[in-house]
Amino acid sequence: MHTWTTVSGTKVIRLNNFRCSCYFIVKGNNAVLVDTSIRAERSIIERAMKKNGIKKPSAVVLTHNHFDHAGNAEFFRRKYKCDVLIHEKDYEGLRKGYTYLPDGMAQPFRRAVGFINSRRIILPFQKFPPCPGAVPVSDGVTLEKYGINARIISTPGHTDGSVSIIVDNEIALVGDCMVRSVNGEIFPPFAEHPDEVAGSWIRLVNTGCRLFLPAHGKENSSEHVRKKIKKQLDTIRHGKSK
Ligand SMILES: [Zn+2]
C-alpha cells in the first residue's frame, strides 16, 4: 500500500491490487472506495479496510465501466449498503454487468478487438455481477455528502463515461484516462475515443493537481503529464494521430 496526504489532511491510499489499483480516500471516519477490481481481488480490498480501520465505505466511485474496475461494485453495494456512483454514460453497461471492449491502440489488440466486436462475441471476462442500483452521475458532482472534499469530473476518451476524482484540488484519481507504463508512456492501451484522450489530460492538469494516480502503473507528476500533452499534440499536428 502507498499513502499520500493532502495539505488539509485527506488521505489517499493505493491498495495492493494487481488487476486494477483501487484507492481509498479517507477523511476522519469517512472513506470512499475508488474502483473495485475483479472478484478474485475482493479480499485484498477488505483486508486493506481492516488494516486501515475502515468499517465501511461511505460510497464507491467507479472511474468507468470496465470489468476490472466494476467487478465488485454490486458486492460492496449490497454488503455495506453504500452508494455506487458511475458516470451516466457508462451506467448502462454496469446495469447489465457487461463491458464493451474498446478498440486496441496497437496491433495485435486492434485486430483482435475488431474481430470480437464485429461478430458480437462476448468473452467470459466481459461479464460481471450487474449493479442496477448504482447512481448515475454527471460532471461536477461532489463527494461532500460522503464526508470527502472531492469532485468527479468527466475525462472521456478511454470510455464515454470515464471520470476522474479530484481530491482537495491536489491529487487526481484518473482511472484509465492515463496509465504509467514502464517506459514512461501514459496513453491507455485501449480507448473508445482516442482523439478525446489528450483533451481530458489538459482538463486534468488545468485542475491544478500535482499528482495523477492511474489504475494501472505508478503515479504521474503534472510536469510529466504536461510533457506528454505537448508530445501528443505535436503528433496530432503532424498528422500521425495515435
Ligand atoms: Zn479500462
Compute the distance from residue 28 Cα to the ligand 1 centre, in Å.
30
Expressed in angstroms and rounded, the spacing between residue 38 Cα and the centre of ligand 1 is: 12
Whole-number Å distance, alpha carbon 184 to ligand 1 midpoint, is 18
Q: What is the DSSP string of 143-210?
A: -GGGT--EEEEE--SSSTT-EEEEETTTEEEEETSS---TTS--S-SB-S-GGGHHHHHHHHHTTT-S
Of 237, 210, 7, 40, the C-alpha closest to 125 is 40
User: Which pLDDT score is estimated for 240?
Assistant: 57
Q: Cα(194) to centroid of ligand 1, in Å?
A: 13
Q: Is 25 helix (H, G, I), strand (E, B) or coil?
A: strand
Give the per-residue pLDDT at 106: 72
Residue 163 phi, psi (nearest 5): -130, 165
- Cα 227 to ligand 1 centroid, rounded to whole Å: 23
| The domain over range 2-237 is classified in CATH as 3.40.367.20 | no
Q: How far is the CA of 158 from the centre of ligand 1 (A)?
A: 7
Q: Render pLDDT for 179-188 as a digit per residue (tens, 0 to 9).
A: 999 899 999 9
Ligand 1 centroid, distance to 118 Cα (angstroms) = 20
Please tell me the distance between residue 65's alpha carbon and the centre of ligand 1 in angstroms.
Answer: 7
| C-alpha 125 to ligand 1 mean position (Å) | 13
Residue 33 neighbours by CB under 8 Å, 6+ apart: 22, 23, 24, 45, 57, 59, 60, 61, 76
Give the Å distances, CA to CA, from 193 to 105, 156, 177. Answer: 10, 8, 11
pLDDT at 242: 47
| CA distance to 60, 141, 204, per residue, from 149 (Å) | 15, 11, 17
CA of 105 to the centre of ligand 1 (A): 13
Q: What is the pLDDT of residue 112?
A: 79
Whole-number Å distance, alpha carbon 8 to ligand 1 midpoint, is 30
Please say whether the beta carbons of 77 and 49 come within 8 A: no
Residues of the chain short of pLDDT 70, as ranges, are 105, 239-242
What count of residues does the chain have? 242
pLDDT in tens, 176-221: 999 999 899 999 988 999 999 999 999 999 999 999 999 999 999 9
- Looking only at Cα atoms, what is the longest distance across the chain? 53
Those residues with Cβ within 8 angstroms of residue 134's Cβ, 6 or more apart along the chain or in another chain = 62, 73, 77, 83, 84, 85, 86, 91, 94, 95
Q: How far is the CA of 175 from the centre of ligand 1 (A)?
A: 7
* pTM for this model (two decimals): 0.93
Output the CA 66–ligand 1 centroid distance in Å. Answer: 5
The number of beta carbons lying within 10 Å of the beta carbon of residue 75 is: 18
